A = this chain, B = another copy of it.
Amino acid sequence: MEKKAFQDYYPDEFAHCYGCGRLNDEGLHIKSYWDGEESVCHYTPKPYYTGGVPGYAYGGIIASLIDCHGAATASAAKLREEGVALGEKPLPRFVAASLKVDYLKPTPLGTTLELRGRILEIKGRKVTVSVTLSAEGVVCAKGGEILIQIPDK
């Protein structure tokens, strides 16, 4: 049986995101999982997500991947903080209040990218995460994101 991702537990009404929503037919469908204390996501962008120079990813797709992986990490971490296992109830859903991306090196296309998230702080409905994006073992971008939990109703 295939392992379920954080995004598979989003409530239907919050599962339409272009970056990570399983109900968005056109979207990227990124999938995030725990790997110990870190969250991990593997994703291979299509060749047309190039920047100005073919062969390298454009800044927007890098920001998009960091944004959605960060939001999923915040959701799963909040659930875990409540002592609830994945799948026992729908994930709380977070939106970004701010996103900062440092582009450290050109990010090559044609290879699988690895995103790794870490929780820096959980304070009530506000969660702060850091995310690295690597290609072939080299960190190409670093992100920091502040997320706010959407009210249930």
A47 to chain B, nearest CB (A): 9
Asked whether B53 lies within 8 Å of A64 as measured between CB atoms, the reply is: no
Interface size on A, residues (CB 8 A): 44
Query: Is A13 at the interface (CB under 8 A from chain B)?
Result: yes
Q: Is A103 in contact with B96, judged by CB distance below 8 angstroms? A: yes
Bound Cα distance from A150 to B93, whole angstroms? 39
Q: Mark A5-20, 1 if CB is under 8 A from B, else 0.
A: 0000010011111111
Whole-angstrom distance between the alpha carbons of A18 and B47 in the complex? 10
A18-B103 in contact given A24-B48, A48-B24 (Cβ < 8 Å): no
Are A102 and B95 in touch, CB under 8 angstroms?
Answer: no
Knowing A58-B18, A60-B63, A63-B67, say if A51 contacts B95 (CB, 8 Å): yes
Q: Residue on B with the closest CB to A11? A: B52
A61 within 8 A of partner (CB): yes
Also in contact, A10 and B99, with CB within 8 A (given A61-B18, A63-B64): no
Q: Is A112 an interface residue (CB 8 A)?
A: no
Residues from chain B with Cβ under 8 Å of A95 in the complex: 51-52, 59, 103, 106
Closest Cβ neighbor of A142 among chain B residues: B98
5 residue pairs, one from A and one from B, having the closest CB atoms: A60-B64, A63-B63, A26-B48, A14-B52, A59-B67
Residues of A within 8 A of B (CB): 10, 13-21, 24-27, 46, 48-54, 58-61, 63-65, 67-68, 71, 93, 95-103, 106, 150
